[in-house]
Structure 1
């Protein structure tokens, strides 16, 4: 046995010596230069240099999607002028599919790839360039060599005219703000860049240095934001017990009307309305967005479903757990503000009642299970149509509600010893830090059960994988609360449609009056009972439930008279109210839940 082991060892040493990277196999070195000679026309020029090649051909690819935004966006559609050269001569590089070029590299040690990218969609997930700034969402900018996702790269930025600043989580090279490095492509694709003259302010929180880059102006108060954003960050850090970053970057795009966010490992991009900061509702909304996207640095970027990493950048990455990854994050965006003292108990309960109302007033909640909503994000959530309201439910909204239910179940079941925070911390430590992998459905379910002290098969069957009506009062009752529907006494008639300002129908509500009697999306309502309609809502409000009316619509430039019987508006408007004479146990659960 010893001789056999020695022989094997000698063979392995010889094998590794004969395939030393950089010799027979080769280690490629990859660098990019980005410049903006036509910023006014929304283009970035990219030069990609690859050296250390030792293979007959090399494929370079553009990702088709951006992690965190579950839609194939076909970023290669924005590439123009693709060419490859070596030693000053052109190299054959045919395009072999929608996002891949095959470069003939036989006998070549290095190649230079050049291309332009058109960027004129300012969102948190897509790139935008004009003379005022460049926002580079890196999955849509940088090609990667097939089989080399683990390779490092450097990015040299040649700024346009008076651009002086770069905001990103990528590290500098020798302190040069215009030269950045990424240890691998997962990090590069998780690190957007804001380049221009953005307003930057910084602060420290939870032992981490934070940079906030504001583009587009706005009525924000930097000193107030420093204090309140730090409170949110520190409250969220307590949930997991650590903040794993050394530095973190917020990129904020302020427009007249804007919203949304996209999480990254050590940064995030936020969309905000520039004049929202000096009113309570707008400011609360912005802090909620901060709380949501920042919470993702743990939940989904590190503690993640097993399908979400390592990423396949060519295809969809399916998971049934976005209700945890996104829905729980939506729940924590509300409760983190409560933890931070930036929301009152009543304000938090109002936020949760809003989520409940969204779920309960959407017919699709009775059609699509929560786990299916997650799995079908690629074809439904990010591709809504006029009937989506009737056929689906958001894993954000219902996931947030389910997060609340489980939090209350765990607090009550453990007599106040544990909460959902303990589950999140346990799963983070177990799967991200110890096992260094994502979790499965069954593993997260086991995590819930560990702290709830009970089997959750029925809960999953009813609320995650099924369509059972949610028994809100059971769970709210643990904390001495109940739901009250302020619209319960009402008997208002409804046509069962949504319309725009021109009275054109945009949605027909499942099983509503318009649905039953044949009104269509795209119909323009012109008359009710032969009376011209200017204020449709006022006309319907003047009717009664059960009234039979004749709706005249313009459909494909033709007039149709459609008899419709008005139905009762069954929408709910829940508020969360206190139960009378709450027990000591209910008050203890409430105290734990709301950090009273």
Structure 2
């Protein structure tokens, strides 16, 4: 017995010594990052990065050109100034800037070195970096440089911030409240830091810790937010088997300007107007956004299409499947809320009707496929050109996801759904793996026992042509204008009509400035174009900023003269007015929906069929 104890002791000692040596070696290979928020009122920080010794004679440090979650080249290095490099003795090292994002340091062999630079952080709306006298939000891809060699190393982040500030991140916590640990650079740049004067709540669900940190004052109800988030996070079980995290952070900015949200590895940043929380419609916007970003914790952060694995931070990452990463997330977000009964069937159908209406007025759907839009998202066009000649990976991706879901439900007699496809992607293709189009088609075949090659070619590489009433009828629903009723087979024809031009405008100093013209609309046919300034209709000066109120004086198919300035010259254009429904498009339940239709609705949404 004593001999066995002795052997065990010596083996344990050898193990401890070995582990200690490994840790010592790892510690020497750490990247140490110090971020000093030294001029917060001027949006400034000073960054110092200490790199381990290297056998190389030079190193190239880079700042990414884009950040994860936004497929757009952002030129993040524009806020970097006062770059310098020193060895461990404080001697200056030679360096040269190779391009806008790359700094090369030479004569570094067998030297431990520290690089320092200033960061200007005043881009709140981009969700990149923002510092003021109340907080700092740091997406680390916009603050911390890396090299190909240091990308794989552990990074220790030390913040120097006012003592009254609280620091929160999805990163592992260090030995003090302002220290965080990332096992490598990829984890670091996908784990933003919020530090400052904020509200903080924590709660546990199913053995996992969740944190809610809110910067800014507003009309939000923290207690309700926590209560609903508790319910929402539990609904992931209806899509995925398993969790990729043990702790998750919801970061919220209640602001006066910035809007939007971005998903990260085990956290999200959500930005909303400080007074867009209390009304039910506004609150739904918040909780839907939270659900969207939470879905991303699996879809994008755990399984990503080829082309995005591993991330290339210095260039575009092309893929035909970014619609599945984003559009499917837009589709699945409501699944979480419906199955947690955080949104009613009526509210969900109202939002779905809005999507259908937007799709019907999207001429770009005939010009660009969703696969093309995914590949071109790095150069996507917004505004008038985007609407008329392109599709959006979010909205069009939602439609393709919806079609897939209904097709799977139909083929499997409600036994399987699109949710099963996403679970299989999670189980089979989590990073460092990645999936391509054939992989998705194979999973569809596994789930349904059917071949999806033709469907995929028609709907992903082809242009969508959706019969919405036929689609909705599967779930006992129909499109309607106004109050409507399920006896209307041609709702557009029976709806009350208003004159329509296809123009969107905003108030200008003299008249109304055209901000968009829908392709094929009466205004498009008449030659009205972007930036025209409409000053009169039918010879009378426009006195209202609402063009539609003026058009109520005319009838559908009536020819009306528009006076406008173009390049400061007065011209006239005649528009033959078209028609648009007076009432809002709605989705209503059939009064005599069958048991089969009601079952389909339940399998689709998780909710009982609406009574009206």
1:416: Cα distance to partner? 2.0
The corresponding residue for 1:267 is 267
The corresponding residue for 2:445 is 449
1:110 correspondence with 2:112 = yes
Counterparts of 2:390 and 2:444, CA distance in 1 = 26
1:572: Cα distance to partner? 9.4
| Greater alpha carbon shift after TM alignment, 83-92 vs 564-573 | 564-573
1:318 correspondence with 2:324 = no
Deviation readout 1:31-71 (Å, 9 max, x if unpaired): 11111222111111101111222211111000000111000
The corresponding residue for 1:563 is 574
1:534 correspondence with 2:543 = yes
* 3-state SS, counterpart of residue 227 of structure 2: helix
Deviation readout 1:230-267 (Å, 9 max, x if unpaired): 11100123321222211111110001354321001111
The corresponding residue for 1:251 is 251
Please say if residues 513 and 567 of structure 1, whose CA atoms lie closer than 8 Å, have aligned partners that are also in contact: yes
The corresponding residue for 1:65 is 66
The corresponding residue for 2:155 is 153
| Greater alpha carbon shift after TM alignment, 69-78 vs 515-524 | 515-524
Deviation readout 1:259-286 (Å, 9 max, x if unpaired): 3210011111001222222211111111
The corresponding residue for 1:469 is 465
Counterparts of 2:114 and 2:95, CA distance in 1 = 11
1:557: Cα distance to partner? 2.4
| Greater alpha carbon shift after TM alignment, 574-583 vs 353-362 | 574-583
Structure 1 residue runs of 5 or longer lacking an equivalent are 1-19
Q: 1:570 to 1:365 in 2, by over 3 A?
A: farther
1:124: Cα distance to partner? 5.4
Please say if residues 58 and 145 of structure 1, whose CA atoms lie closer than 8 Å, have aligned partners that are also in contact: yes
1:513 correspondence with 2:522 = yes
1:404: Cα distance to partner? 2.1
Counterparts of 1:333 and 1:501, CA distance in 2 = 35
Within 5 Å, give how 1:79-478 maps onto structure 2: 79-86=80-87, 87-123=89-125, 125-159=127-161, 161-174=162-175, 176-380=176-380, 383-432=381-430, 436-478=432-474
Please say if residues 212 and 249 of structure 1, whose CA atoms lie closer than 8 Å, have aligned partners that are also in contact: yes
1:29: Cα distance to partner? 3.2
Please say if residues 66 and 125 of structure 1, whose CA atoms lie closer than 8 Å, have aligned partners that are also in contact: no
Deviation readout 1:483-513 (Å, 9 max, x if unpaired): 3355713442222211002311111211122
Counterparts of 1:206 and 1:542, CA distance in 2 = 61
Structure 2 residue runs of 5 or longer lacking an equivalent are 1-20, 483-490
Counterparts of 2:585 and 2:451, CA distance in 1 = 30
Number of corresponding residues: 570
* 3-state SS, counterpart of residue 430 of structure 2: helix
- TM-score, length basis structure 2: 0.88
Please say if residues 138 and 189 of structure 1, whose CA atoms lie closer than 8 Å, have aligned partners that are also in contact: yes
Deviation readout 1:533-561 (Å, 9 max, x if unpaired): 12222222211233222221122322222
* 3-state SS, counterpart of residue 117 of structure 2: strand
| Greater alpha carbon shift after TM alignment, 301-310 vs 478-487 | 478-487
Counterparts of 1:124 and 1:218, CA distance in 2 = 21
The corresponding residue for 1:479 is 475
* 3-state SS, counterpart of residue 332 of structure 1: helix
| Greater alpha carbon shift after TM alignment, 452-461 vs 439-448 | 452-461
Please say if residues 463 and 470 of structure 1, whose CA atoms lie closer than 8 Å, have aligned partners that are also in contact: no
* 3-state SS, counterpart of residue 414 of structure 2: coil
- TM-score, length basis structure 1: 0.91
The corresponding residue for 1:501 is 507
The corresponding residue for 1:11 is none
Please say if residues 27 and 53 of structure 1, whose CA atoms lie closer than 8 Å, have aligned partners that are also in contact: no
Counterparts of 1:560 and 1:121, CA distance in 2 = 41
| Greater alpha carbon shift after TM alignment, 539-548 vs 580-589 | 580-589
Q: 1:468 to 1:420 in 2, by over 3 A?
A: closer
Q: Which runs of 4+ in 1 moved over 6 A?
A: none
Please say if residues 64 and 73 of structure 1, whose CA atoms lie closer than 8 Å, have aligned partners that are also in contact: yes
1:386: Cα distance to partner? 3.4
Counterparts of 1:590 and 1:554, CA distance in 2 = 52
The corresponding residue for 2:3 is none
Counterparts of 1:569 and 1:481, CA distance in 2 = 22
Please say if residues 355 and 398 of structure 1, whose CA atoms lie closer than 8 Å, have aligned partners that are also in contact: no
* 3-state SS, counterpart of residue 511 of structure 1: coil
Please say if residues 174 and 180 of structure 2, whose CA atoms lie closer than 8 Å, have aligned partners that are also in contact: yes
Please say if residues 216 and 274 of structure 1, whose CA atoms lie closer than 8 Å, have aligned partners that are also in contact: yes
Counterparts of 1:475 and 1:530, CA distance in 2 = 46
Counterparts of 2:471 and 2:284, CA distance in 1 = 26
Counterparts of 2:359 and 2:104, CA distance in 1 = 48
* 3-state SS, counterpart of residue 415 of structure 1: coil
The corresponding residue for 2:12 is none
* 3-state SS, counterpart of residue 254 of structure 1: strand
| Greater alpha carbon shift after TM alignment, 424-433 vs 266-275 | 424-433
Counterparts of 1:125 and 1:248, CA distance in 2 = 18
| Greater alpha carbon shift after TM alignment, 457-466 vs 305-314 | 457-466
Q: 1:366 to 1:490 in 2, by over 3 A?
A: farther
* 3-state SS, counterpart of residue 429 of structure 1: helix
